[in-house]
Amino acid sequence: MEKRNAVNALGIVVILGSAWGLSECVLGAALHACASKMSGSLMTGVALFFIAAAWAATEKAWSVALLVAVASLFKMFDALLLSLPLRDGAIANPIFAFILEGAAFVVVAAVVAGKLGRRTAGRAAWGGSAALVAAGAFPLVKSVTGIAACVAPGMSIPLAWYYAPLAVGLSLITVPLGIWAGERAAGLRLRLKFFEPSVAVALSLALMVLARHF
């Protein structure tokens, strides 16, 4: 039973990672069209929703690492669809952001995941703090990918800092929602069929292809 629980927990994380990867493609394209300057901050709130859900569904740090890995693989597949090299700023920098958001969430969890993390206000603070840490550290991306973070027009302030209040405000909502969703997903672990994660991956990839070609 314990082994099955672990396998099913892994399956839930793969499903969540597939949904995150798909949302990055679909929402990212839509946001780029109407709000390209703030799209990264908006997607931070979305990312932290899925990270919080994976955490709550398993209560294990490895789930966040796996989730980030799945989302990163989806981003690489998106690069293939867009005929972009993996080191292009539209691919490498978002992947760095995924890693940063996952790390920020886990670091903040060390402080608030106990009694405070069981309250809605504590979960909101968890989300806001994780978003603030991720946004604050994002300009380090240049030292990793070699591609500088975008700056606000006519200024030298990174967009991640300029729109940090938006990322924080959105994450105050998405992290409590993600934890709520993850707690309910945890109850489905014993009912998860072994093929369902594979179906979720295949369906998400197919939808990404459709989104990029239509």
Range of the domain at 19: 2-213
Mean pLDDT of 83-100: 93
Please tell me the total count of domains within the chain.
Answer: 1
Q: In which residue are the tokens 């998106």 written?
A: 78
pLDDT in the model for residue 193: 76
Mean pLDDT of 160-167: 95
Please tell me whether residue 119 adopts helix, strand or coil conformation.
coil
pLDDT in the model for residue 78: 93
Mean pLDDT of 1-6: 56
Which amino acid, one-letter code, is at 99? I
Mean pLDDT of 78-106: 93
d(CA 138, CA 136): 6
Give the residue with greater pLDDT, 36 vs 209.
Answer: 209
Considering only CA atoms, which of 23, 12, 7, 51 is closest in space to residue 204?
23
Listed in sequence order, the residues at least 6 apart from 211 whose beta carbon sits closer than 8 Å to its beta carbon are 25, 26, 29
pLDDT in the model for residue 34: 47
Structure tokens that stand for 100 in this block: 């940063």
Per-residue model confidence as pLDDT tens digits over 114-157: 777 788 999 999 999 999 999 999 999 999 999 999 898 888 89
d(CA 197, CA 191): 12
pTM for the predicted model, two decimal places: 0.92
Per-residue model confidence as pLDDT tens digits over 190-200: 577 777 888 99
pLDDT in the model for residue 2: 54
Bridge partners, residue 151, by sequence: 158
DSSP 118: G
Per-residue model confidence as pLDDT tens digits over 102-114: 999 999 998 887 7
Average pLDDT, the chain: 88
Q: Which percentage of the chain shows pLDDT scores above 70?
A: 91
Distances (CA, A) of 143 to 65, 71, 93, 95: 21, 22, 11, 14
Mean pLDDT of 79-87: 91
| Residue 210 phi, psi dihedral angles, 5° rounding | -65, -45
Structure tokens that stand for 81 in this block: 């669809």
Distance of CA 108 to the CA centre of its chain: 15
Residue 202, pLDDT above cutoff 90 = yes
Alpha helix locations (H) across 36-82? 39-58, 61-82
Residue 50, pLDDT above cutoff 90 = yes
Please tell me whether residue 46 adopts helix, strand or coil conformation.
helix
Q: Give the confidence band of 212 by pLDDT, cuts at 50, 70, 90.
A: confident
pLDDT in the model for residue 49: 98
Give the residue with greater pLDDT, 83 vs 34.
Answer: 83
Per-residue model confidence as pLDDT tens digits over 11-45: 899 999 999 999 998 887 666 544 467 888 999 99
CA gyration radius for the chain? Answer: 17
